[in-house]
Amino acid sequence: METQTLINYLVLFAGATGGWVLKILWDSIHDLREADIALTEKVGTIEVLVAGSYITRDEFSKTITAMFMKLDRIEDKVSLKADK
């Protein structure tokens, strides 16, 4: 076998191996981009769900009023107990 033929086979093997590695990397990057797009869409829908479920000022005001009423009742009961 001639030296030039051996070198040609080595270059062919190196080129084929390099091409195979580049294809694997290209496919991996493509898969990661698709996963990134899907993840971005999921995060967007979660943001919409979270933003839609905040408590309103009226609901918060009603809840705080009810809590303070109960605390006032507890304070009155404690005051009556302390007086006895």
The answer on 34 and 60 residing in a single domain is: no
Look at residue 53 in the predicted model and tell me its pLDDT.
72
The answer on 40 and 19 residing in a single domain is: yes
Look at residue 7 in the predicted model and tell me its pLDDT.
94
Look at residue 52 in the predicted model and tell me its pLDDT.
66
pLDDT per residue as tens digits for the range 18-56: 999 999 999 999 999 999 999 998 888 887 666 667 788
Number of domains making up the chain: 2
Global pTM value: 0.49
Q: How far apart are CA 19 and CA 25, in angstroms?
A: 10
DSSP 8-class letter at 53: T
The answer on 44 and 72 residing in a single domain is: no
The answer on 65 and 45 residing in a single domain is: no
The answer on 74 and 39 residing in a single domain is: no
Give residue 37's domain range: 1-53
The answer on 73 and 36 residing in a single domain is: no
Look at residue 25 in the predicted model and tell me its pLDDT.
97
Look at residue 55 in the predicted model and tell me its pLDDT.
82
The answer on 49 and 59 residing in a single domain is: no
- Give backbone dihedrals phi and psi of 68, rounded to 5 degrees, phi first: -70, -35
Q: 67 or 53: whose pLDDT is higher?
A: 67
